[in-house]
Amino acid sequence: MKDLYLVGAEQKSRVLNDWEQFKKAVVLKMDGSTKQAKKVIEYISPQEASPDHEPSYSFTAATMMEDRLFVGTQTEILVYNTNTYKKEDYYSLPIFNDVHHVKPRKNGNLLIANTGLDMVVELDPMGKVINLWNVMGEGPWKRFDPKVDYRKVSTTKPHQSHPNYVFELKDEVWVTRCLQKDAICLTDRSKKINIGRQLVHDGVLFQGKLYFTQVDGRIVIVDSKNLEVERVVNLEMIGSIKGKIGWCRGIKPLSEDIILVGFSRIRPQSKKMEDGSTKYIGDYGVMPTRLSCFNIKTNTLIWEENLENYGLNVIYSIH
């Protein structure tokens, strides 16, 4: 196995809201032979690109192209050289809020899942907005104000859709919609992939198949030509732990049979009290944030590596 880059964050507190949780953004490099990892990038967003109250700093789902890592924070897009780990490009616009994924297009532009505004943004290399797509089919500013600096807004929840991962099929722009449990084509609204059952995340194309994660530990494999579900793999039934195995997000197929999957600690559940305060129930579960390697042909867990040992408490993507 080649060396891997694992993208996420270090935890700040056990009981803060998810938009306040993280102390710093982190990228680990894992040795493909030894499975040992080390931090190669740490990052904290500047004040001008952060909310004024309890800001959270996390890298979100990234894309690797050759020796460049395109990665988002809640309010920024950064491009790192993976030979030097130096930042080469930087974008931060007032419309950015709760950015979940960034992916370069074949035409050189950037596609961004701007989750907080329920939209996908297309930027050119100079940072100019080329397209804004509201993922519910509305106008992009029907529910939001283009004059507001949303980088300063801690959260816009509840979201109508929570788009979280963008991808291309040929020249078409697609995005996963977490709350609708599907993926839709933004450039041809007649096309949709019904994934169903649970909240959906990644949409990774590998050898003609799309691999989607569902947060409860299922992998949904879709034929990219006919857009039909071919197989659902329940990872809860593989390995020694039965039941809740963590928040499943981040996937990298190594072959048709061997896949890497990321799991993050389970967050506590919040409950509104009669006096208006919020009480947090439970903990993060017994399973740590980790990287797991599965053989989905034999339905076996090949190996796991605890990423908390390296200061990574949440994982968004694997490269």
What is the percent of the chain with per-residue pLDDT over 70, rounded to a whole number?
91
Average pLDDT in the 78-105 region? 97
pLDDT at 222: 97
The structural domain count of the chain equals 1
Tokens of 281: 């129930």
| pLDDT tens, position by position, 19-60 | 678 899 999 999 999 999 999 999 999 999 999 888 889 999
| pLDDT tens, position by position, 239-272 | 666 667 788 999 999 999 999 999 997 655 566 6
Average pLDDT in the 203-223 region? 95
Domain hosting 58: range is 4-318
Average pLDDT in the 160-173 region? 96
Cis peptide before 158 (omega within 30 of 0): yes
Question: Alpha-carbon Rg of the chain, whole angstroms?
Answer: 19
Contact 24, 10 (CB under 8 A): yes
pLDDT at 22: 87
Sequential DSSP letters for 132-200:
EEETTSS-TTSSS-TTS-GGG-S--PSPSS-EEEEEEETTEEEEEETTTTEEEESSSTT-EEE--SS-E
Residue 265: name the closest of 281, 234, 244, 287 by CA. Answer: 287
| pLDDT exceeds cutoff 90 at 282 | no
Look at 15-24, 81-90, 143-152, 213-222 and tell me which has the smallest mean pLDDT: 15-24
Average pLDDT in the 177-193 region? 97
Residue 263: name the closest of 319, 199, 209, 307 by CA. Answer: 307
pLDDT at 288: 86
Distances in Å between the alpha carbon of 207 and those of 252, 272, 296, 311? 12, 46, 16, 33
pLDDT at 50: 94
**pLDDT grade for 274, boundaries at 50, 70 and 90:** confident
The rounded mean pLDDT for the chain is 92
Q: Higher pLDDT residue, 11 or 293?
A: 293
Q: What's the whole-model pTM score?
A: 0.92
C-alpha triplet 103, 71, 220: angle, nearest 5°: 55
Q: CATH code at 89?
A: 2.130.10.10
Q: Higher pLDDT residue, 220 or 282?
A: 220
Tokens of 41: 């990038």
pLDDT at 12: 77
| pLDDT exceeds cutoff 60 at 140 | yes
* Per-state percent for the chain, helix, strand, coil, to nearest 5: 5, 45, 50
For 266, how many CA atoms within 13 A lie in the half-sphere containing its CB?
Answer: 18
Contact 116, 98 (CB under 8 A): yes
What is the percent of the chain with per-residue pLDDT over 90, rounded to a whole number?
81
Sign of the torsion angle spanned by Cα atoms 227, 230, 236, 238:
negative
Look at 69-73, 89-93, 118-122, 232-236 and tell me which has the smallest mean pLDDT: 232-236
